[in-house]
């Protein structure tokens, strides 16, 4: 009844588009959070076949799970605490992100040979070796015979606004960190700063590798731009009932919406337990038979109400209801309605949602 459909051809198309756009930089495909809700088991092999040079995830447990799907390609993980057992990740050959001097020492203390990226603070102030510890961290890693530092990595805070001056500041800081690392004796052959928006709009920030996530799933990372991406996911449910409501009557919890005239309502099987934000009340438009109808009243745990007006197109129980995707709003439009970003929306479908895959052609 409630399902997401993932178009694998769209995934392959997006990888090819991005890879061509960023060449000759290497392409790291980010598949954290179960490939942004698209499913690593099916999506990651498609990305590899389409040209991925490496993969990235957040946590080391994600990296270990991904290794079962991607046996040989490089996989990096960067979210871990210094007291974490690194054995599973090291056994799987995961490249480790090092976000602090403490983390560097913890990795060295394992005595295991591993490849690593040093995460440097450049202005996002989330994670990364702070500037005053760059030299000491680089020296400690240089002198550790078990650690091969592949390069540096950092993350833009404002790349989705290509004109934001902080982008220049962060790129400058990254270049300074890279010069420092090389002065300290680290070769750093593979360095990556650019996320999806920076990879597509800021050639100077591509360095040796780009680290791309949301664009691979067909979501435009810069509002108002068009990079030829094909949205890969749609989210659909079913109409479970159509019933009349009289003028002056209200619907759903709190009776927050009242019918202005006699009309019909459709009940659709999806709610906040399935990941639909309650904040979409009154802003979501559901696709039914190629027409868009407003959702009204409060979003419930398991269902929503849709205003059909006089129901001129004869919507009935069993019809497909598109929450986002072809025939409905886009994920970006739903994100705007919910006051969030499209990254979050494609990670939302949970609960009773079943994921299915198609091998059709992309809709780019």
Residue in 19, 32, 36, 357 annotated catalytic: 32
> Tokens 């996911």 correspond to what residue?
233
Catalytic residue of the set 19, 36, 131, 253: 253
Give the residue among 144, 78, 61, 159 at the shortest CA–CA distance from 108: 144
Determine whether 357 is an active site residue: no
Structural contact between residues 63 and 76, judged by C-beta atoms closer than 8 angstroms: yes
The model's pTM:
0.95
207 Cα distance to chain centroid: 22
pLDDT (tens place) for every residue of the chain, 364 residues total: 899 999 999 999 999 999 999 999 999 999 999 999 999 999 999 999 999 999 999 999 999 999 999 999 999 999 999 999 999 999 999 999 999 999 999 999 999 999 999 999 999 999 999 999 999 999 999 999 999 999 999 999 999 999 999 999 999 999 999 999 999 999 999 999 999 999 999 999 999 999 999 999 999 999 999 999 999 999 999 999 999 999 999 999 999 999 999 999 999 999 999 999 998 998 999 999 999 999 999 999 999 999 999 999 999 999 999 999 999 999 999 999 888 999 999 999 999 999 999 986 544 4
* Residue 272 a catalytic site member: no
Q: What residues form the annotated binding site for substrate?
A: 126, 301
The residue among 175, 182, 150, 177 whose CA lies nearest residue 28 is 150
Residue 235: its H or E element: strand 233-245
Strands 304-309 and 263-268: antiparallel
Provide the 10 A C-beta neighbour count for residue 243.
Answer: 12
Radius of gyration of the chain (CA): 24
Q: How far apart are the first and last CA of the chain?
A: 27
């Amino acid at each position: 009844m409630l399902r997401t459909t993932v178009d694998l051809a769209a995934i392959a198309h997006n990888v090819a588009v991005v890879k061509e756009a960023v060449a000759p930089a290497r392409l790291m495909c980010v598949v954290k959070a179960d490939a942004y809700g698209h499913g690593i088991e099916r999506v990651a092999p498609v990305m590899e076949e389409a040209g991925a040079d490496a993969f990235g995830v957040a946590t080391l447990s994600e990296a270990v799970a991904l290794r079962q799907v991607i046996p040989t390609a490089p996989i990096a993980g960067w979210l871990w605490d210094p007291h974490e057992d690194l054995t599973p990740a090291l056994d799987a050959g995961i490249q480790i992100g090092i976000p602090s001097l403490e983390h560097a020492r913890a990795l060295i203390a394992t005595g295991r040979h591993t490849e690593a990226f040093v995460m440097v603070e450049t202005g996002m102030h989330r994670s990364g070796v702070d500037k005053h510890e760059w030299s000491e961290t680089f020296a400690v890693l240089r002198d550790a015979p078990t650690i091969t530092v592949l390069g540096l990595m950092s993350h833009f805070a404002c790349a989705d606004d290509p004109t934001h001056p902080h982008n220049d500041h962060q790129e400058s800081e990254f270049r300074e960190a890279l010069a420092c690392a090389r002065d300290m004796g680290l070769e750093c052959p593979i360095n990556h700063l650019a996320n999806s928006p920076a990879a597509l709009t800021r050639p100077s920030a591509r360095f040796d590798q780009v680290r791309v996530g949301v664009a691979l799933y067909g979501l435009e990372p810069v509002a108002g731009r068009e990079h030829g991406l094909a949205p890969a996911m749609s989210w659909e449910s079913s109409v479970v009932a159509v019933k009349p409501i009289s003028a002056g009557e209200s619907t759903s919890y709190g009776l927050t919406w009242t019918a202005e005239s006699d009309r019909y309502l459709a009940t659709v099987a999806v709610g906040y337990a399935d990941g639909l934000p309650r904040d979409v009340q009154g802003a979501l438009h559901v696709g039914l038979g190629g027409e868009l109808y407003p959702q009204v009243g409060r979003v419930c745990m398991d269902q929503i109400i849709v205003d059909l007006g006089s129901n001129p197109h004869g919507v009935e129980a069993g019809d497909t209801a598109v929450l986002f995707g072809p025939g409905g709003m886009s994920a970006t439009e739903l994100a705007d309605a919910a006051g969030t970003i499209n990254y979050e929306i494609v990670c939302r479908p949970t609960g009773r949602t079943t994921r299915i895959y198609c091998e059709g052609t992309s809709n780019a």
